[in-house]
Structure formats: C-alpha cells, structure tokens
Amino acid sequence: PLGWASAALLVTVGGAIIWYWNDKYTEKKKKNQTSKELPSIGKPLLGGPFTLVNTTTCLPVTDEYFKGRFMLIYFGFTHCPDVCPDELNKIVRVHNVLEKERPGLLQPVFITIDPQRDSISLIKSYLNDFSPNFVGLTGTPQQIESVCKYYRVYFSAGPRDVDGDYLVDHTIISYLVDPDGDFKEFYTKSSNDDEMIRRIKEQIQKFDQKKKL
C-alpha cells in the first residue's frame, strides 16, 4: 500500500516536474516575444573588392577607383534580347534625373556576366547605345565569378543553338553602393523610375548627414 511518506514524495516530485516544465515554457515564450519586438539589426552582406578591366580605358580598375561616388551596378550581357536593355534604359533615365541635381555623384556601372563573348570593344559599343556615362567592366571568367559571388548574382549559360549562340539566365537586380564602397540597397525589375529615384535620393541624404557628424 502507498504510505503517507511515499505519497508526499510523489506529490513533491510531481510538483517539481510541473514547475520545471512550466518555467521552461514561460522562458521560451519570453524569448520568442523578445525576438519579435527587437528591430532587425545589420544589413545584407553584399559587395566586396574587385579587380576588373574598364572597357573605356582598357585598363585594370579596382573598386577603389569608384570611391567618392555612388555606384549603380547592373550585371548583364550584351547578347541579352530584352531584359538587359530595359533595365539599362531605366538606369539611364534615373541617372539623367539625378545628374541634374548632383552632377557626377552617381556612376552607372555595367559588369558583364558573359566575358567569353563580351569583348572590351563590344561592351564599349553596346553601352554607348544607351549612354556615354556608363562604365563597362569585364575580366577573366574567374574575376567575374568572384565579383558575382560578392553581390550574390546568379548566372547560368543556357544550351547552345546550331550557331553556337546561347542566352544567360541571371539575376535581374541593380545594386547601389555608396561613396565609401559600402552596399546600401538593391532595386528589382519591378522597381520603377520614380521609386528608384526616391530611394537613391534618400540614401544620398543619409550619406550627406553621416558625413556632417
């Protein structure tokens, strides 16, 4: 038979177990609530150093060359039938508006993801059809792969046709880098001119305020 001592022990142990799990539940609930209340800290780890070739000067250039200006970077290829031209034209329109207000502050940059076909002369000619303000960059396949990794740019060449031609599937994003060389934000295909202009102006204002401190 269960004696008083055994019963008391059972009650004590049972109560301790209930208290333990209740305490754990309360602690977990508090942690979850705190994590929801805390603001997001930090920014995406995008961007990094690179060494490529400037298709205007035909000389090697690093990311340091662009410091002192905002960069608006687009990764694409000259054989792109429609998406790249649409995005480059959008960048030109955005640049033209901002250039009137702050001349020389925003530098549009095109980095090829197809260095095998995109020669220096081809990129230069291609970009001149959009705007002479573009800086085109190319490099070895290894250099292009490296800078794409820094910006998390996906690209993959498709199957070749009978003429050996092919398309390249790739990320359709424009990246804004500030004059200190730090990535600030990106703009997708769905971002229109007005949105990009507004957001870039906000980043310029934030940068100006930071430099005044």
Q: How far is CA 55 from CA 17, 37, 51, 64, 190, in A?
A: 72, 49, 13, 17, 29
Where the chain has pLDDT below 70, the residues are: 1-44
**Kindly report the CA angle at 21 between 17 and 26, in degrees rounded to 5?**
145
Written as one string, the DSSP assignment of 41-88 is -S--------EEEETTTTEEEEGGGGTTSEEEEEEE-TT--SHHHHHH
List pLDDT tens digits, range 117-159.
Answer: 999 999 999 999 999 999 999 999 999 999 999 999 999 999 9
Q: What phi, psi does 150 have (nearest 5°)?
A: -60, -35
- The pLDDT value given to residue 213: 80
The partner residues of 74 in beta bridges, in order of sequence, read 110, 174
- The pLDDT value given to residue 44: 64
- The pLDDT value given to residue 27: 53
CA–CA distance, 84 with 188 (Å, rounded to integer): 12
**Residues whose CB falls within 8 Å of the CB of residue 101, separated by 6 or more in sequence, listed in order:** none
- Taking a C-beta distance cutoff of 8 angstroms, is the pair 131, 95 a contact? yes
